[in-house]
A and B are shown apart, each in its own frame.
Chain A
Amino acid sequence: MKTPLLGEFGSPPARHMLGPIQHIDVPMKRYAETEEVDFCIVGIGSAGGVLLQRLARAGFQVVGFEAGPFWDTERDWVSDESGSHNLYWEDLRITGGSDPLALGANNSGKGVGGGSVHWAAFTPRLHPSDFRIHSEDGVGVDWPMTYEELKPYYEQLELEMPVSGPAYFPWGDPHGYAYGPHPLGGVGDVLVKGCTRLGIRVVAGGPVAILAGSHGDRQHCIYRGFCLQACKVGAKASTLITHVPDALRNGAEIRDNCMVSRVNMNKEGRTCGVSYFDRHGVEHVQKAKVVIVSGYAIETPRLLLNSACPGFENGLANSSDTVGRYLMAQAGNVILGRFDQLVRMYKAPPAHALTEEFYETDPKRGFARGFAIQTVGPLPIAFAKQMMVAKGAWGWGMRRVMMDYNHWAALGLLGEILPWPDNRVQLAAEKDRFGIPVAKVTFNLHDDDKVLANYGKNKVMEVMRAAGAEEVVQESRYAHLVGAARMGADPRTSVVDKYGRTHDIPNLFVCDGSVMPTQGSANPGLTIQALAARTADYLIAYSREIFTSKKRPMEPPPIRRHLAPPETWGKGVPRIANL
């Protein structure tokens, strides 16, 4: 066999690769369990990675627990669809309700970086109207904050990831992107053509958290189309490469392959740390002044419910009975069109063009809120599964349509589904290998959701036909789970306040997609990371009060831009030396 382009693998490296150039030296700092650290973060994913970095850089002692591995991207990740299952949360969960959600690869990640490792990296912001849909349309609920409060964090995180996109993005709060857009792939071409023919505004080349130019020690995109299988190139942002390296350099510890089994409480009604199982299945305790749960919209409520104890019989922070409730997913129908000419949709990042023309409420449509249309680029196995549903393909029909793979293009609907109390995460009777009850997810579509999803699906099909597709089919799907520990001003109807602090327990925080009260029609990743940076600023500004008292300052903390990771500030030229 020929020598690999990047050299043979030797014995386990002291140098841990985070991309072809980027690396970090291991082992990292290790705190003693008897030591009471300032912060424990449960889950180093989209939100947890940002929190870890900010808190470490501000000089706090912080330990991040991650149920999955700390990736070495050169060894652990492959440019292969079927070989990438280890990226997802593959442990058991039970799913039911009238419209059960698919989980696993369809939803959450496991391993440092969490879902940001396998996301498509679309990074639109929420619209200002998203923060007050109850006031404006009488549906869902208002956020306890405004768009303007989050805006500086959107702008900041767009620079930290960084986000490539059009110079002018016309929807919501119109804005531009500092980094240039990507070239069009086959599917983007279809979306742009279809929209243009129907007079629908469309943007191309972003907004995506994918490098269009080299940046620090990260390379730019090579248009290989494997974003959902994790980007070995290091072009697509994940907190593993954008925030974790800076966190570790500033003294943070990550305990990987460590599954937190409960958040522990003391007699004063405060949390005193966490219990966890290490990679060998041995249980340990870590003491901490503050615990932040960042485990994703399923594992976060699961952990809070599993941590029930005297005084908190219904689970932690659950006096309102809202832990696990108001779980949301977006209507993520995939619309597939067959074209006479070839498309070859496996090339280019799946995420690269979108329209938010239908995002806002339009009274003429007869339902509240709206949807977005985005490019997707299923690889062969995902496409075959879609054909099983969309065309009912199997047997010879499957072989036949798959031979036409290169003729098909796929567009994704992203429709807003409203928060409902009966859509929820509970505990199942089944247990995982540590003996911890697993999550049971119940999902029911309501009338408003059905009407919106149907309308949206038909609109995308219309765009596909306008682009010239001769055959158009679709499969329904749901994407992006958020909610289930929502924020609100009223402790009787929400779990956390607008900074992620639980109403019931002064030193227990939730910080991840679970805190979102509504979801809009934007992919949630950017919002999740922006909220995390804001929660970090709150923790830093008021650490003294939080460590020792119940005082709940509500004055917004100042944004601390200087705490951003320095190497994500756009140096431009990659550091090729000292590999």
Chain B
Amino acid sequence: MAAVETTQRKVVLIDPATGKPIPPRAHPGYYPGYRTLAQQEYWDEATRKVVLNRIRRVPDIRFFSADEARLMYAICNRILPQDDRDEEHRVPIVPFIDKRLFDGRIDGYRFQSMPPDRQAYNLGLKGIDEIANHLYTSRFLDIGEAEQEIVLKTLHDAKPPAGQEIWDGMSVHRFWMLLVQDCVEVYYAHPWAWDEIGYGGPAYPRGYMRLEGGQPEPWEVEEKRYEWQVSGEFVSDNYEFIAGEAEHFGSPGQGGTH
């Protein structure tokens, strides 16, 4: 499907029924009117503080250089695109990744094939620019968003066409997972993202009453789906198997479940 060109930027989202662009909205997702924050008086004090700070206290950039920060914004806009959100309702991602790196907070381990997280970001950002340069003779920041996705896809596939000296010292696909995990960790911690996916959010001390059959609690809402299509040149809307490094099972997951 052809991209629709507007005066400002490429249109990314299309309503398949009408073929028209879907305008950005304050609250995308299939749960119209659902706001976890509206339930905050039912949360405990410690939780409310943590969640509200996420909205009210967006940290300053202290780890990334100004150049790196600009690059990170562009990258995170593709790892978790928010073109369907209006400007006032985009979830800030880079400041929280920056804070983690500035504070030196890690997840409790480092893969042998990886340098420490800070160094991984410094190197990885350079590598991404080198790939952009190789494919488009231009910096990542200066290419179109669809092209940016093509650059990033080479990391997802663990087949970067440039920056070999960087990837020789650092596992490509582990860097990819680090980046994607850091982004989802920030985005899906935000109450607006909870509204978008219909997740209940904090639940103490009230708890849940309707456990079976996917029924909503009285304060939750029924799902109301709408169709949306991503303009064809944006490759991230296709699911392709992630490349892996581990011998027997490719890319084992890293989250805890049981």
Tell me whether B177 is interfacial, beta carbon within 8 Å: yes
Question: Given A90-B108, A99-B249, A376-B258: A183 and B45 within 8 A (CB)?
Answer: no
The complex places the Cα of A376 from the Cα of B258 at a distance, in Å, of 7
Please tell me if the beta carbons of A346 and B248 are within 8 angstroms of each other in the complex. Answer: no
Please tell me if the beta carbons of A78 and B50 are within 8 angstroms of each other in the complex. Answer: yes
Please tell me if the beta carbons of B204 and A94 are within 8 angstroms of each other in the complex. Answer: no
Tell me whether B240 is interfacial, beta carbon within 8 Å: yes
CB-defined contacts of A341 to chain B, threshold 8 Å? 213-214
Summarize B's interface: helix, strand, loop or mixed.
Answer: loop
Tell me whether A59 is interfacial, beta carbon within 8 Å: no
Tell me whether B42 is interfacial, beta carbon within 8 Å: yes
**Residues in chain B within 8 A of chain A (CB atoms):** 12, 29-30, 41-48, 50-51, 78-81, 84, 105-113, 149, 152, 156, 177, 180-181, 184-189, 193-194, 196-200, 202-216, 223, 228, 230, 234-242, 246-258
Of the residues A103, A120, A332, A380, contact of B109 by C-beta under 8 Å: A103
**Residues in chain A within 8 A of chain B (CB atoms):** 1-2, 4-6, 8-9, 20, 74-83, 85, 88-96, 98-100, 102-108, 118, 120, 122, 183-186, 189, 221-226, 228, 232-233, 332, 334, 341-344, 346-348, 350-351, 374, 376-382, 384-386, 388-403, 405-406, 410, 412, 414, 440-441, 444-445, 450, 453, 475-479, 523
CB-defined contacts of B112 to chain A, threshold 8 Å? 94-96, 100, 440
CB-defined contacts of A82 to chain B, threshold 8 Å? 185-186, 188-189
Please tell me if the beta carbons of A388 and B180 are within 8 angstroms of each other in the complex. Answer: yes
CB-defined contacts of B208 to chain A, threshold 8 Å? 222-225, 347-348
Please tell me if the beta carbons of B255 and A122 are within 8 angstroms of each other in the complex. Answer: no
Knowing that A79-B203, A104-B106, A399-B81 touch, tell me 10 more A-B residue pairs with CB under 8 angstroms. A82-B186, A103-B107, A222-B204, A223-B207, A224-B204, A341-B214, A382-B255, A382-B257, A389-B252, A410-B257
Please tell me if the beta carbons of B47 and A83 are within 8 angstroms of each other in the complex. Answer: yes
Please tell me if the beta carbons of A6 and B44 are within 8 angstroms of each other in the complex. Answer: yes
3 residue pairs, one from A and one from B, having the closest CB atoms: A395-B236, A222-B207, A342-B214
Of the residues A5, A380, A382, A397, contact of B256 by C-beta under 8 Å: A382
The complex places the Cα of A232 from the Cα of B207 at a distance, in Å, of 11
Please tell me if the beta carbons of A384 and B188 are within 8 angstroms of each other in the complex. Answer: yes
Please tell me if the beta carbons of B230 and A9 are within 8 angstroms of each other in the complex. Answer: no
The complex places the Cα of A103 from the Cα of B108 at a distance, in Å, of 6
For this complex, 18 residue pairs linking A to B, each with C-beta atoms less than 8 Å apart, are A5-B205, A6-B45, A74-B46, A83-B50, A85-B105, A90-B107, A99-B247, A102-B252, A103-B109, A221-B207, A224-B204, A226-B203, A378-B255, A388-B181, A389-B253, A398-B80, A400-B228, A406-B199
The complex places the Cα of A299 from the Cα of B152 at a distance, in Å, of 38
Please tell me if the beta carbons of A395 and B109 are within 8 angstroms of each other in the complex. Answer: no
The complex places the Cα of A228 from the Cα of B257 at a distance, in Å, of 8
Within the complex, the shortest CB–CB distance from B44 to chain A, in Å, comes to: 6
Please tell me if the beta carbons of A399 and B80 are within 8 angstroms of each other in the complex. Answer: yes
Interface centre among A1, A108, A402, A523 (most CB of B within 10 A): A402
Question: Given A6-B45, A75-B46, A78-B46: A223 and B252 within 8 A (CB)?
Answer: no
Please tell me if the beta carbons of A102 and B253 are within 8 angstroms of each other in the complex. Answer: yes
CB-defined contacts of A81 to chain B, threshold 8 Å? 188-189
CB-defined contacts of B236 to chain A, threshold 8 Å? 394-398
Within the complex, the shortest CB–CB distance from B160 to chain A, in Å, comes to: 15
The complex places the Cα of A402 from the Cα of B30 at a distance, in Å, of 11
Please tell me if the beta carbons of B108 and A93 are within 8 angstroms of each other in the complex. Answer: yes
CB-defined contacts of A332 to chain B, threshold 8 Å? 257-258
CB-defined contacts of A401 to chain B, threshold 8 Å? 239
Of the residues B181, B238, B253, contact of A477 by C-beta under 8 Å: B253
The complex places the Cα of A89 from the Cα of B242 at a distance, in Å, of 28
CB-defined contacts of B247 to chain A, threshold 8 Å? 98-99, 444-445
Within the complex, the shortest CB–CB distance from A546 to chain B, in Å, comes to: 35
CB-defined contacts of A379 to chain B, threshold 8 Å? 199
Residue in chain A with minimal CB distance to B54? A82
CB-defined contacts of A222 to chain B, threshold 8 Å? 203-208
Question: Given A105-B108, A346-B199, A385-B184: A99 and B252 within 8 A (CB)?
Answer: yes
CB-defined contacts of B255 to chain A, threshold 8 Å? 102, 105-106, 378, 381-382, 385-386, 477
Of the residues B12, B199, B250, contact of A405 by C-beta under 8 Å: B199
Within the complex, the shortest CB–CB distance from B91 to chain A, in Å, comes to: 11
Within the complex, the shortest CB–CB distance from A458 to chain B, in Å, comes to: 13
CB-defined contacts of B50 to chain A, threshold 8 Å? 78, 80, 83
Within the complex, the shortest CB–CB distance from B86 to chain A, in Å, comes to: 15
Residue in chain A with minimal CB distance to B45? A4
Interface centre among B46, B108, B198, B240 (most CB of A within 10 A): B108
Question: Given A79-B202, A381-B185: A99 and B42 within 8 A (CB)?
Answer: no
The complex places the Cα of A5 from the Cα of B40 at a distance, in Å, of 11
Residue in chain A with minimal CB distance to B235? A395
Question: Given A394-B156, A400-B237: A380 and B257 within 8 A (CB)?
Answer: no
Please tell me if the beta carbons of B258 and A479 are within 8 angstroms of each other in the complex. Answer: yes
CB-defined contacts of A94 to chain B, threshold 8 Å? 109-112
Please tell me if the beta carbons of B202 and A80 are within 8 angstroms of each other in the complex. Answer: yes
Within the complex, the shortest CB–CB distance from B100 to chain A, in Å, comes to: 10
The complex places the Cα of A163 from the Cα of B95 at a distance, in Å, of 43
Question: Given A103-B109, A382-B256, A392-B240: A226 and B214 within 8 A (CB)?
Answer: no
The complex places the Cα of A332 from the Cα of B257 at a distance, in Å, of 9
Within the complex, the shortest CB–CB distance from A420 to chain B, in Å, comes to: 14
Please tell me if the beta carbons of B248 and A99 are within 8 angstroms of each other in the complex. Answer: yes
Please tell me if the beta carbons of A389 and B30 are within 8 angstroms of each other in the complex. Answer: no
Please tell me if the beta carbons of A95 and B47 are within 8 angstroms of each other in the complex. Answer: no
Residue in chain B with minimal CB distance to A457? B249
Of the residues A88, A390, A391, contact of B108 by C-beta under 8 Å: A88
Please tell me if the beta carbons of B242 and A186 are within 8 angstroms of each other in the complex. Answer: no
CB-defined contacts of B240 to chain A, threshold 8 Å? 392
Within the complex, the shortest CB–CB distance from B215 to chain A, in Å, comes to: 8
Of the residues A2, A93, A233, A376, contact of B204 by C-beta under 8 Å: A233
